[in-house]
A and B are shown apart, each in its own frame.
Chain A
Amino acid sequence: MMTKDTQAAIQFSHVTFKSGEQEILHDITGWFPRNRITTLVGPSGAGKTTLFRLCNGLISPTSGDIYIDDRKIESYDPVQLRRKVGIALQSATMVSGTVRYNLALPMELQGKELSDERAKELITVVGLDESFLERKAKDLSGGQRQKLSIARTLVNQPEILLLDEITSSLDRVSQQEIEELIVRINEKYGTTIMWITHNLRQALSIGDYTWVMMDGELVETGESSLLKNPQNPRVQTFVKGETE
C-alpha cells in the first residue's frame, strides 16, 4: 500500500471524533490511495459511517487533520468538497417526489437541469428500467432505493466516491451488477472509491486495498488479501465470524 506510485486521495492524521463525551473515532491515522478501490470492513458500530461523514464534510473531527488531495479539508468550500467527495448514504434516503426528481436533485441544487438522456442513462446503468423515472421514489423497495441512491451520487461526477453499504439490500445478481458498475467507473474515470461492506467476498474481489475498523480504531490496513490471513487476533475473529 505504501508504494511510491500511489498517492493519497484522502489522508487521516490522528483523527478523533467525539459526540458529547462518547469517543466514536479514536486516533485514526491512515490513507486512501487515489484512483483505487478501498473497502472498509468492520463490525457494526465500528465507526465506518462516521468516517465517511467526516470525508464528505457533514461533520468535522474533534481533533486531528484530514487531507483531501493533500489539502486540508477545512480549506475547501463545503459545497465544493461535497461535490468532489460524493457519498451514497447508508440509509439511501429519498425526498418525496418522483425517481426522476430525486435523480435530478444534485443538478437542481445547482440551479441546473438533468437532461432526459442523462436521466435514462443513469437509471439504466444502475440496473433500473427507464419506466421507473416517473414512479414515486418513496414507493421503491430497499434495493431499488439503493440503486437510485448510487445513480444520484454519480450525477455530481465526484472524483472520490464513498459508498456506504450500497448493496446490503440487493440480491446476488443485483449485487454483482453494482460491483461491476463500480469497477467500471473506477477504470473509466479513475474515480477513487471507498466502499463500506459487510461482505468479505466483496471486499476481496472488488477492493484493491482494505481498512479494518473496530471500536473506533483502524486496526489493520493493506492490500485486500490481508483479509485471507489477518495478523491481528481481533481481525482473525471478525473474519472468521463473517465468513462462517
Chain B
Amino acid sequence: MNFVLLALSLIFVIIPLVLSKTLNLGLEKDSVIATIRSIIQLLAVGYILQFVFDAENYFYIFLMIALMIGAAVQNARKKGVSIKGITWKLVVTFVFIEVLTQGILLGLNITPATAQYIIPISGMVIGNSMVLSILFLNRFTSELDSREDETELILSLGGTPKQAIHRPLIASIQASTIPTIESQKTIGLVQLPGMMSGQIIAGADPLQAVMFQLLIIFLLLTTAVVTSVILGFLSYPTLFNERMQLVLPGKK
C-alpha cells in the first residue's frame, strides 16, 4: 500500500458524504472531521512508532507508555470526577495492569522485549482498561444512587462500609466485565478481530495471527476483570467517612 492507493481509498469517505448530502442526513461535518482526525492521528502515530522502533531505546518505549496512560486517565476521569482522588486511582489502576501484563509477557518470554511488541500490546491493554474504567465508573455511580437505601440499611444494622458496598460493587464489576466476556464467546464466528485481519492482510501466517489474537483475548480478559476490581476497591473507601457514614459524591 502507498499514499496514492490510500488517496484512492478516500472514495469510501465520499460515498457517505454524497449520501448524507442528498438525503439530508446531516453527517457531513462529523464525517469530515472524523476522517481528517483519523488521518492526522494515525499518521502521527505511525511516524512516532517508526522513530521509536528505529531508536531501539527503552526510554522512548517508557515515554510512549506514560503518554498512553496519561491520555487514558484524562479520558476516564471525566466519568468519575465525583469520586475523590479518581485521577490517581486511575493512574494506579493503569500502571498496575500494564506492569502486570508486561511483567508476565516479558518475564515468561511469551513476547520479545522489543518496541514492536511492547507498544501495540500496551496500547491495547491500556485502551481496554480505559474503556472498562469508564464502564465501571458509570455503573458504579448509578448503582450507588439506586441502592443508596440498601447501603444505608446495612450500615444501620451494624454492617461495615465494606459489607454495605458489597452488592453495588459486585454488580458494577459484573456489569462492566460481562461485555468483554460475552464478545469473546462469539469471536471469530461473525467477524474476524481487527488485529488478526490486519496481520493476515499484511501477509502473516493465519495460524500465527490466530495465536497472537488468542494472546490478546486472554490479556483483555485479565485487563477487564483486574481493572474493575482494582478501581472498585480503590474507590469505595472514599464513599464513607471515619464514622462509617455514607458520603455520596455530589451530595453534601
CA gap between A83 and B158 in the complex, in Å: 6
Please give me the residue from chain B that is nearest to A110 by CB atom: B158
Number of A-B pairs whose CB atoms are under 8 Å?
59
Q: Is the CB of B157 within 8 A of A58?
A: no
**Contact at B155–A106, with CB atoms within 8 Å?**
no
Please tell me if the beta carbons of B157 and A152 are within 8 angstroms of each other in the complex: yes
Q: Which of A89-97, A117-125, A201-209, A213-221 faces chain B? A: A89-97
The answer to whether the Cβ of B124 comes within 8 Å of any Cβ in the partner chain is no
Closest chain A residue to B244 by CB distance?
A: A78
Given A58-B245, A60-B243, A60-B245, A106 and B157 touching (CB < 8 A)? yes
List the A side residues contacting B163 at CB < 8 Å. 109
Q: Complex: how many Å from CA A93 to CA B152?
A: 9
Decide if B45 is an interface residue (CB 8 Å cutoff).
no
Q: Which residues of A contact B149 (CB under 8 A)?
A: 89, 91, 93
Would B154 and A105 count as touching, CB distance under 8 A? yes
The 6 closest A-B pairs by CB, nearest first: A78-B244, A83-B158, A109-B159, A20-B252, A82-B158, A93-B149
* Given A80-B158, A83-B158, A95-B153, 15 extra CB contacts under 8 A: A58-B155, A58-B246, A78-B244, A78-B245, A79-B160, A82-B158, A83-B157, A89-B149, A95-B154, A109-B157, A109-B158, A109-B160, A110-B158, A152-B157, A153-B157
- Chosen A-B contacts, 22 in total, with CB atoms closer than 8 Å, are A57-B243, A57-B244, A58-B155, A58-B246, A60-B245, A78-B243, A78-B245, A79-B159, A79-B244, A80-B158, A82-B158, A83-B157, A83-B158, A89-B149, A89-B156, A91-B149, A95-B150, A105-B154, A106-B157, A109-B158, A109-B163, A153-B157
Residues of chain B whose beta carbon lies under 8 Å from any beta carbon of chain A: 149-150, 152-160, 163, 167, 243-246, 252
